[in-house]
Structure formats: C-alpha cells, structure tokens
Structure 1
Amino acid sequence: MSPSLLEYLVENEPAFRKARLPALYSDFQTQRTLNPDGYEANVSAWRKALGRIVGSGLAPAGRGAASNLFVLHSDEQLLRALESKQYGRPLALGTVVREALAAKDLVPLRDFLEAKESIYYRPWSVWNLASWTMKQLGVADILKKDSLPPGEFVVVSNVEEAGKAFASQQGPAATAGTRFDRTFSKAHFYKTFNDQLLDGHKLSETDMDVLLRFLSRDKPAILYDGTTIKIQSPTSSSNDNNNEPAEITPEDTSIAQLKELLVSLTHQTALLTARVEQLTAQAHQAVSKSNRVAALAALRSRKLAESTLAQRFATVHQLEEVAAQIERAADNVQLVRVMEASGTALASLNARTGGADRVADVVDRLREQMADVDEVGSILAESAGTVVVDEEEIDEELAVLEGEERKQKEEVEKVAREEREKEEAEKTRERLLAAGEVPSGEVKVPRGQGDKEMEDLMSRMSLKEDS
C-alpha cells in the first residue's frame, strides 16, 4: 500500500517531484528559524498532500472504519502507509499536522461536529497573541515533540470543495423550487447526494454528518436539525413576512418523512414489477417443459406479488395526493402572505399620498398654477406686439426664385443640346470621309434639315460608286 500511495502523490502533486522527496521526508522542523521559506514550502506541500490522499479515498481508515473523504485518521497506520523503502517515514509529519491544526486547516472531528460557532470565526485573545508570538520565535515548536498527533481530523479544504459542488449543483432553479422539493429527511438526502458531489466518490455516513454541519453552520445553504434538511431558498435569509420560517418546522418534518416514504414505496414497486415479470417467465418456461407443478407455483407466487404490487401502487397514489395537497396548501399560505404584505404596502403608500381629498386639492392647485402661466404668457405676447407678414410680397419673391431656377435649367438644356448636335455632326463627317466625298475638315449639318435630305445625299454617293 505504501509504494502505491507515494506513487500517487508523485503523479498528482506537483510539489512531490522526485527531486524534492528527500527534503520532504527529512526532519525539516529545524528549518523554521534557519530557512523559513523552505520550511513553509515543505509544510504547505504536505498539507496539500494529506488533503489529496484523503479526498481520493486512499488514506488509511481506522480499524473497522469506512474510508472517509473528509476525515484524516492520524495514527501509526498513516505513517506506515506513507513509508518508503528509499526515504523511510516522513519525519516531520507530526509538525505538519500541528501546523494545520493551528491554522484550522485540520479540525478535530468531535470539535467540528459539536462547535456552535463557525470554523471561520477567529477570536483574538491574549492567549492567542502569546501563542502566536511564541510560534514566531520558535519557542512553541521547541516545547513540542515531533510525534504524530493521533486522532480524527476534518480536512476543511475537502469539505469546502464539496460545499461548492453542492451549491453549483443546486443552482438558482433548484433553490427557487417549492418547499416540498427542497425538503429531505437525512436518509433521503444521503441517498440523493452521497455520490454526486466529488467526482463519483461516495460519501461515508461520517462524511455526510460533516457536510451537513458545514452547510448549515458555516455556509448557511441548508437548515438542519439532525433529522430533517431543508435547502435554503434565495430569500430565506431575509426577514420579510413573505418568506418561509428560518427554521425546521413540524410541517417540514412531515414533508421529509412523506418524501422518504414515497421514494421507498416507489423502489418497492419497481422490485415487485420485476418480480412479476420474472415469475411470468418462470411459468411459461415450466409450461413449455410440461412441468405443471412448477407452473402452478410460479402462478401462485405471481398472484401474491401482483396483489402486493397493487397495494403498493394504491399507497403511492394516496401519498402523491397528500403531497399535492401539501404543496397546494403551502402555495395558499404563501399567496396569503403575499397578499397581506401587498395590502400593507398599499396602505402605507396611500397614507403617504394623504388620501383622495389631498390628491384632489393638489390637482386643483396645479390646474390653477397652469392657468396662471397661460394668462401670463398671453399678456406678454400682447405687450410684445404682433408681426404682420405680407403674403403678396412673399409670393413675388417665390416667383423670382422659380424664374431664376427655370432659366438655369434652360441654359443647362441648351448646352446639352449643342453638345449632342456637335457629336452628330462629327459622326456624319466621319462617315462622309469614309465614303471619299467630303474633304477633311469640319462638316456642318444645317440645322433644320430633315432625314430626307440626308437620305438623298447618301443615295447620290451610292450611285457614283456604282458607275
């Protein structure tokens, strides 16, 4: 076991590369004052390594105990598991555990489960100040032995990782579900979440106790009284009248028990259904072999299984009806609370407005002031005089502008027409030159000649060519 555990650390912990193993397995306690950086690096590497092997399920458990993912069993068995033929045992492991306990990275299991205050609470006292001073001077380490402190210690980093996984798995949709959906018995909660939080690793019962205590006390994500769990809704922590009670109520306990019973009966119906199918197959097989006795026995057993299955289905149906009624009643309670709060809010707002009479007075005063503003505006306009506009003069100015615009368009059209005529004359000259009848020079086509004159000219040119 020990070689595989060390190989696991070498493969999965960057600080446990082979070049560093001699230093990590040495007694580096004296480096605290001689080489503080090296001491801290070694301690940090070992603390991460202990969390890693516990979270992987490879850490040795106590005698007769199940392997835990959150609890480190610190004893001789742990030293033997980490022992190496080449490097021996980790000589400073006791120092590492004590440093982790002082930093509260490791917490004794019993203290973790029984503590009323959060593990993140750090009271500062004279004794803590003196302990911190002695630790900085190295006096506390000199007074302690380097033997491994025995006991069971909660690895806080592993619990925090599971808490984050639980929060991300729930998400806004789950936490905003109904009270029925968010309430569990402890056994039902364990069956639902024991293999869904840490990459398929199953939590032990001890792990589940640690996680529930952490989620309810240190990360108030749930309410927990030892038997019933209720996942907190997004608004459960506020004090509004609309919200659920911030405690486990008898109604929550009843809901949790009902859900657990429903799950159990549903599982039984699945088993009985499979049993009926199995007995039916046995009866067919016996008939095919002409084994009448076996066939009758299978049919009798199937009849009993079917009767039990029908009873289970009837019970499940009744419980589902009860669950639906509970959810409906819870919705009604919430609705009444919302309506009550809304009525209180409306009453408060109406009181702030002063009632209908006060609003009518305000509106009347506003209208009077607006009328005064209009009257003042009219007076000012009369005093300033009125500007008279001569419409005939404006029409004349518009006619002048239109005439100028029209003249500009005519000039543009004239220039364009002359350009076209010039182009046509040039084309005609080129055709005549090609026929050999017109000397090179500018050929002008008299303006106004029709197409007939052009045709006569072209015909004469053609007759000369024929002769």
Structure 2
Amino acid sequence: MSPISTARLASLETYATSSTSRLKSLYSDFSLQKQSNPTSYASNVEWWRKTFESVVLKGWTSQSHAQPAYPDRLVLHANGPLLADEFRLEGVGKPLSLATVVAELCSSKAYFSVTEFLNSARSPLWWALQQLNVVSSEDAVLGHGGDRERWKRVRGDYVVLSLLESAAEKVLERQRNKSGRSLADSLYDMEDFRREFAGHALNDAVLSDLDLKILIKFLERDKRVIIVQREVIKFVDADSSQPAEITVVDAGILELKCAVEKLHAQVDTLQQKIDQRLLQASMALKQKRKELALSHLRARKQLEDVLKKRLGSLDLLQSTLLRVEASAGDVEIMKSYESSTATLRAILAHPSLQRDKIDETMDAMASANADAREVDDAIRMGADMAQMETGIDESELEAELAALVKESESETTAQAQAGEDEQELAALQAFHERLGDLRSPLNNPVVSAEKPQPGSVKQSVKT
C-alpha cells in the first residue's frame, strides 16, 4: 500500500503551515501527553483531525478492498499500521500516535464506526458504545503494548461527521433550490438520487455507493428530512406535525416520473442517431456512394417514425403526471381545509365563546365601565369642592397670571431696545475713531510720498 506522496501532503494547509520541528512533534508518540501536557495533546489531535478531514475529502486514503470507481469521501479507513505508512514523510518518518488520535476522535463523537452508524435504529451515541466496552478511549490512548496494541482496539472504518454534515447541508440546499417543488420533485429512486446528488454533495467530488448509503441514513434518521421505503426516497418537512409516510400515490407518481425521464433519454438518443444518419448520408454522397446514402436516409426515416411515437408517448405521460400531481395537491389542500375547520370548531367550542357567556362578559364589562365613570366623577367633584373650601378665587389667579405674562413681555421689549441702543452707541464710537484717524496738513508737517486721491477725505468724513 503506497504512501501519500510528499507533494500531496505538502499541498495540505496543515502541512504547509507547520515547521519541520512541529511535524516531528506531531509524528512522535504523544499518547501520554493527555495527562502530562493536555494543551499540547489537544492541539496535536486537532491538527490530525483537520489533516484526516482533508485527506478523506480528496479521496487519498486507501481501502482494504479493491478500489471502486469513486473513492469514499465520507469514510476514514483506519487500517491499522497501514494508515500510518500512508502518511510516511521523508525526513520525519511515519506517525506513531494515529491510533490514539482515532480513539480520541471517536470519544469526542467526531468519528463513528460505519457498521454501528448504518445499523443503529437511533442516532449513535458513542458514550453508550464506550459503556458497552466496544471502544474505550482511555484504554486506546493510555493502553500498554505500543502502537500495534492500540490499533487492535480502534482498527476499522469510520464516518467523518464533519464531512457528512457538510454533504447533508449541500443536498438539502440543492433540494430547496429546485424550481417548482412539485410532489414529483420530492420523490426519487436510488438511481435518481445518485444522479441528482452524488456529484453535488461535496465540492469537486463524487460520492461513492458507501457514501450515499451513509448520507441517506443520516438524512433519514438524524435529520428526519427524508423517509425511505424499499427503493423510494421522499423528502419531507422535518417540522411538519403530520406523520410522514410514502403512500401508494407517491409510488405511482415516482413510477410516472421515472418513465418520463426514461422517455426523455430515449428521445435524446433517437435524435442523436437521426443526426448521425443524416451526417453519414451526406458523407456517402460526397464519396458518390448513392446506395449507401439511400440506406442511411431510410434508416433515418425509420428513426424519425420511432421518435414521433416516443414523443407522443412522452406528451401523454407528462400530461398524466401533471394531472396526478394536481389531484394529489388537491387532496393535500382538502386535508388542510379539514384540519383548519376542526381547529376552528375546537376553538369555538370553548366555554368562553358560548353566547350566554359572551353576553354575561359584555354586561359585566359595561357595568365595570359605568362604575369606573362614577368613581372618576366623584374624584373630580371632590377636587372642585376642596378648591372652593380653600377660598381660592379662580378669577384672581387668572388676573395674576395675565399680569405675569405682561411683565414678561415688557422685559423682553426692554431688552430688545437696550440691544438696539448698544448697537447705535458702538457705531457712533467707531465713527469718532475714524474721524480721529484723519489728521490736518497744518498739524502734520510730514508729507506723504503718495499724493492723496481727490475726494478720499470727503468720502471718509461721509463715512
């Protein structure tokens, strides 16, 4: 079993960002660090978790059986010491703690045994498996006997939960984005499911048959977004209160859907053959092989007759499928009507909504409102009487208020007038200062070098 090439390992982010000394530490036996240096231990396990995830996603890990058409993208094949050999790195060696890492990842529920995952009726709980002594992380991590002894406890195939969850989300997103979302769009057989989702669940990767089995099990049991019955797969609403089931109608619609898809494929194939025959006839004519050209044209004519029949059958099946879907939709609508009617009747049957109870409640409300008005009137009358007893004359209060308002207005007017006076005084002072700057020639013997412009003095005085 050949190791992963150094170039491939170097292309991984975990390797590209790690120094040689760091890699030597990661490749060493750090099993006992869980007790002596838990921080370093946790960091090493996390590094290997990311590395395993990248390697599995790229399909680089070997398998115990013959290589299929597509490698597994959701499963880590922990084939004992052979897995360590795959990660052998020149100048560093091979990792000595992979069994410890696998055990720790199982303990933290990041990995699940493929066998247990597929056979469990309920969502796997790894701690329950530990209690049954199927896997004990402490024994695998701290057990005696070295790496080979540890591998005896954890050797096997494991579902990588992070990759599985990512694939499930991509499948659900693709299903939600389907236009129309008719009943037929929610029904698949295994081949349709593989064709629709195997190449779109993970980026640039195609899921293997084992991956699809794991994915379908996860969507059915853990996510509860599909139900499976024999070869029929149906997407359902996980939040629906109605029990999910595959009915005879579902099976019939799926059968019609598959027939339509097969006819579409036949029509495409026939059209390709017709085009090919026409091309062959043209080439035969260019080669002056008239009989061969006629043979191709006759074959083309026969193919066109078959195509015409297939198109007629396709139209009939498509219209039948549409009518069946419409009828099934009508059934669902009537069920919703019935459920809504039952809910409304249950609400109206409540004792609080009976006619006598309603009349009684409304009378009580009217009586309570009347009592509230009486209390309010009594409080208002009491306040008026209290004011009268204090001897306060309302007219005197109003006159005093008017006087205060008038006084306030007078103060405002006086302040405005004072402001105007201050502005006039400032302007007058400025004028006198400018007059003071003008000097008579008799009093000032110094003659300016520049001749004053005519009218400048008059203009200043005017100013």
TM-score by length of 2: 0.71
In 2, Cα distance between the equivalents of 1:135 and 1:221?
36
Per the alignment, residue 122 of structure 2 pairs with: 117
Contact 2:59–2:73 under 8 Å retained in 1:
yes
Per the alignment, residue 71 of structure 1 pairs with: 75
In 2, Cα distance between the equivalents of 1:153 and 1:366?
69
Larger radius of gyration: 1
Per the alignment, residue 201 of structure 1 pairs with: 205
SS at match of 1:256: helix
In 2, Cα distance between the equivalents of 1:224 and 1:113?
14
Task: Spell out the pairing of 1:353-392 with structure 2 (5 A cutoff).
Answer: 354-355=353-354
1:159-207: CA deviations, max 9, x gaps? 1221222233344x65993332212112101100111121121111111
- Report the Cα offset of residue 340 of structure 1: 1.1
Contact 1:61–1:73 under 8 Å retained in 2:
yes
State whether structure 2 residue 12 is matched by structure 1 residue 12: yes
The one-letter code sitting in structure 2 at the alignment partner of 1:227 is: E
- Report the Cα offset of residue 298 of structure 1: 0.8
SS at match of 2:106: helix
RMSD, aligned CA:
5.3
Per the alignment, residue 266 of structure 2 pairs with: 268
The one-letter code sitting in structure 2 at the alignment partner of 1:192 is: E
1:373-404: CA deviations, max 9, x gaps? 9999999999x9xxxxxxxxxxxxxxxxxxxx
Per the alignment, residue 38 of structure 2 pairs with: 36
In 1, Cα distance between the equivalents of 2:296 and 2:27?
66
The one-letter code sitting in structure 2 at the alignment partner of 1:326 is: V
Per the alignment, residue 49 of structure 1 pairs with: 51
In 2, Cα distance between the equivalents of 1:279 and 1:126?
69
95-104 vs 358-367, which deviates more? Answer: 358-367
SS at match of 1:181: helix
Give 5+ residue unaligned stretches, structure 2: 385-412, 414-460
Task: Spell out the pairing of 1:93-132 with structure 2 (5 A cutoff).
Answer: 93-120=98-125, 122-123=127-128
- Report the Cα offset of residue 151 of structure 1: 3.0
1:431-467: CA deviations, max 9, x gaps? xxxxxxxxxx99xxxxxxxxxxxxxxxxxxxxxxxxx
Per the alignment, residue 456 of structure 1 pairs with: none
- Report the Cα offset of residue 325 of structure 1: 1.9
Contact 1:106–1:155 under 8 Å retained in 2:
yes
Among residues 285, 288, 296, which one is paired with 1:287 in the alignment?
285
Distance 1:22 1:376, change over 3 A: closer
Distance 1:380 1:65, change over 3 A: closer
SS at match of 1:28: coil
- Report the Cα offset of residue 84 of structure 1: 2.7
Give 5+ residue unaligned stretches, structure 1: 385-407, 409-440, 443-467
Contact 2:140–2:150 under 8 Å retained in 1:
no
In 2, Cα distance between the equivalents of 1:277 and 1:320?
25
- Report the Cα offset of residue 250 of structure 1: 3.0
State whether structure 2 residue 259 is matched by structure 1 residue 222: no
Distance 1:329 1:17, change over 3 A: farther
Distance 1:246 1:36, change over 3 A: same
349-358 vs 79-88, which deviates more? Answer: 349-358
Distance 1:381 1:304, change over 3 A: same
The one-letter code sitting in structure 1 at the alignment partner of 2:206 is: K
State whether structure 2 residue 170 is matched by structure 1 residue 168: no
Contact 1:265–1:312 under 8 Å retained in 2:
yes
TM-score by length of 1: 0.70
273-282 vs 59-68, which deviates more? Answer: 59-68
In 1, Cα distance between the equivalents of 2:32 and 2:374?
96
359-368 vs 208-217, which deviates more? Answer: 359-368
Distance 1:334 1:278, change over 3 A: same
1:248-280: CA deviations, max 9, x gaps? 333323323332232222122112112112212
Distance 1:95 1:12, change over 3 A: same
Contact 2:187–2:235 under 8 Å retained in 1:
yes
SS at match of 1:211: helix
Q: Percent identity?
A: 28
State whether structure 2 residue 153 is matched by structure 1 residue 155: no
Per the alignment, residue 89 of structure 1 pairs with: 94
